[in-house]
Structure 1
Amino acid sequence: MQNRILLVEDDEELRSLLSRYLGGQGFTVREAANGNDGLALAQDELADLVVLDIMLPDIGGLDVLRKLRARTRLPVILLTARGEETDRIVGFEVGADDYIPKPCNPRELVARIQATLRRVAWDREGQPDHGRRIGDLRIEPDQRRVYQNDRPVELTATEYEILRVLLSRAGSVVRKTDLMQWALGRRLTPHDRALDMHVSNLRRKLDPEGANRIETLRGLGYSYRSPE
């Protein structure tokens, strides 16, 4: 089944360009030119993901996102003006799943849509009673808890988010810039060691004997591999 994308963008030329490109990539696209129409279509549950511009002519994209989050966990990618870091931070605080600055590369937008849909699908695969198992780990997304060999692992909220992202792409490399954005909700900046610190703490909790299931690929990012 094709994934359904709701594109909420008031710039007619950009909306048309992105809609054509997404359609050519196999998505079913519905369009809205303002926040109220976008909100109505999103609440009709006729989309699997929303691409939402922050600057809209009637109600702002962040207000649309707030209203959506009061009713649904439908994944949302924000379109933000380049350089508007405050909007991105507030967007993550309100509940955005990702963002992409404008003018955006349609190919990058498709990649971010696919990555977001993979993460959402991974979370939904776990069953409330049994969770999702990967090797010696059991993840219960509804409870946001992790068990190793059926023993609880005490993780901070940030450590849980980092692990969730890495597990959703187990065996693949997750770029540090993406992991920082998806797990910590902010952009990676030079000399920022916060992500490295959290990964180090996560390794220590999961592998006290140094099995190093979270591999560092220098200059690229991190990759999760289940221990033998």
Structure 2
Amino acid sequence: MNAWSFNRTVVCLIILLYTLLGCKGKIENKIVFKCDFTGTATPSRVGPEYTPYPLEDWQVSNGKLECLVSRENRTVHLLTPQLREGTFEMEVEVGFYNGDLVGNSKNWAGFNLGADNLSSDHAVDRKGLNIGVSTNGVLFIGTPSPNPKNKNVMKALPTGVNLKVQLRPETNNYVVNVAISDISTGKLLANISKNHVAIERWKGDLALVSNFQSNAKDQSSFTKSVWFKDWKIY
């Protein structure tokens, strides 16, 4: 084999290896669910693959899923798929409407993982693991954090951020990684991790959450709180 033939063979092998690795990556990151509201007549009720709670507090408009109020524990449960064991990734774009309730760690939007199916007592006792970003710009896993404000995240919330969660099994528990980035620039704004999350949590529904603490008689509670779009599960 001359030098030219040898070099050509090496190049072909490199290209083949690169292609195989690329295909493997695509298989591992295969999307198993993706919401798409772009073709939905607006405004309209949420589609049949979701269970909104309460029904009247959610709508689809301009390709986005909107929460029409700024009150506690407003959720949209996904009927399928449910949370599963093993490595798991999920992301969504989320933006905040209500500027009157910013800066409070108890006002937040994001995910609930492993929630019970909706029932009559759902509003009183909703289990599962909350993961999200508060209006003070701080990410949290479990309970919203009163940490000092993250002004870079706060600045991006009105126009929208990408919230991404990764669950990775480790021994008998899980590692949970959460990252948030600006959807207009793709820039990573913040990330957090939590180790030793109990494995028994990973059963139940997946849900989007809007949680705002406000007086029901206050006019701000009747203001749209957040929007979601491009919900993806891998």
TM-score range relative to shorter protein: under 0.3
Which has a greater percent of strand? 2
Normalised by the size of structure 1, how large is the TM-score? Answer: 0.27
Normalised by the size of structure 2, how large is the TM-score? Answer: 0.26
Pair member with larger Rg: 2
Which has a greater percent of helix? 1
Higher normalized contact order (CA 8 Å, seq sep 6+, divided by chain length):
2
